[in-house]
Amino acid sequence: MDKIDTVVIGAGVVGLACARALAQAGRDVMIVEQEAAIGQHTSSRNSEVIHAGIYYAPGSHKARLCVAGRDMLYRYCAERAIPHQRIGKLLVAVDAADAGRLAALQQHAAANGVALSWLDHAALREREPALHAHAALHSPATGIIDSHALMQALLADAEHAGAMLALASPILGGHARREGMVLQLADGYEVLARQVVNAAGLWAPTLAQQLHGVPRETIPTPRYARGVYFALSGRSPFSQLIYPLPEPGGLGTHLTLDLGGQARFGPDVEWIDGVDYTVDPQRAQGFYHSIRRWWPGLADGALAPTYSGVRPKIVPQGAADGDFVIQGPAVHGLPGLVNLYGIESPGLTASLAIAAEVASLLR
């Protein structure tokens, strides 16, 4: 049986960030990924937005790590020439009845250390003439990023520090021993890892169930919420991201721009029983209805289905949004094991800060 210092399970953006941090700290790191390429799920099926940290409960992991991770990510993008743009975002109240919620959100963001400026109807008309809204909050810290370039940079840094990547290598099981965790891979291969980071994203709870010795009561029930995206044909009339007020399970059907200026809308929220990326073109009808509340000029036939993503939820439909779970030995009792559960949005934004947190648990 081979022995290694640290195994990171999952080569999405969070797993790669953890591997980079641990390898740069001098650990012997192996990254194990079930797919044939990195970042095939949540890390590449999202809006590619660098979030400011507006929505999350003050003091929560999401709030704290989003704000810290945002600043770390902008610095990292500058250092490594990762394509990105601090494009800004408008969070809109369509009519006067929504203004109270918008004001409350401004105060909520301030409690997280995020400054938002208020724009009235006249200011909005001057800034975004196509936008129909009573008022909006402007978030100058919101940006967009090439998530694939980010993951390639994280992997390159990890490998430069000595990390190894094993693709198409699903974990089939494992069990705790005094010296660490024995992990079973395909073809009967086993490795004894002194430390294990479960960054398996959508499959993190399922993977933990396969590791004998992890107390079952510490493992959340996995739940899934699919969101589909539709692309706008033609040029967008907007110069920045446009978000309605958040809705249960997500941030509302919003407009984002990629680094080439292409506009896309989504994601919506559809609770499903498992990981399924099917895109139903009929869902466009709901998009037209939602978008026309703040952009009445959206033409019929202007939306084309593109892709979908699945949020790795650990709370049921109808419950308050869950927080990130960064679970170390103090909870499950196994030295050297860190489980990451419910790392949905803003996981990409927070990835470098999550990695620093994981590294601190594994000192």
What tens digit of pLDDT does each residue of 250-268 get? 556 799 999 999 999 999 9
Look up residue 17 and give its two tokens.
């960030």
DSSP state of 95: S
Amino acid (one-letter) located at 189 = Y
Task: Please write the tens of the pLDDT for every residue from 317-355.
Answer: 999 889 999 999 999 999 999 999 999 999 999 999 999
pLDDT of residue 180: 96
Kindly write down the DSSP assignment for every residue of 223-276, as one continuous string.
EEEEEEEEEESS--S-SSEEE---BTTBS-SEEEE-TTS-EEEE---EEESS--
With a threshold of 0.95, does the pTM exceed it?
yes
132 vs 126: CA distance, rounded Å: 12
Domain 2-47+148-221+321-361 matching CATH 3.10.105.10: the answer reads no
- Residue 157's pLDDT is what? 98
Tokens 């998009």 belong to 287
What pLDDT shows up at residue 1?
Answer: 83
- Is residue 160 classed as helix, strand or coil in its secondary structure? helix
pLDDT at residue 246 in the model: 77
Instruction: Provide CATH 3.30.9.10 ranges for the chain.
Output: 223-313
Where do the CATH 3.50.50.60 domains begin and end in the chain?
2-47+148-221+321-361
Rounded CA-CA distance 141/118 in Å is: 15
CATH number of 223-313: 3.30.9.10
Q: What is the pLDDT of residue 251?
A: 59
Q: Which helix (H) or strand (E) holds 4?
A: strand 2-9
Helix (H, G, I), strand (E, B) or coil at 184: strand
Q: What is the DSSP string of 90-124?
A: EEEESSGGGHHHHHHHHHHHHHTT---EEEEHHHH
Measured distance CA(155)–CA(163) in Å, rounded? 9
Reduced 3-state DSSP string for 286-306: HHHHHHCCCCCCCCCCCEEEE
Low-confidence ranges of the chain (pLDDT < 70): 247-252
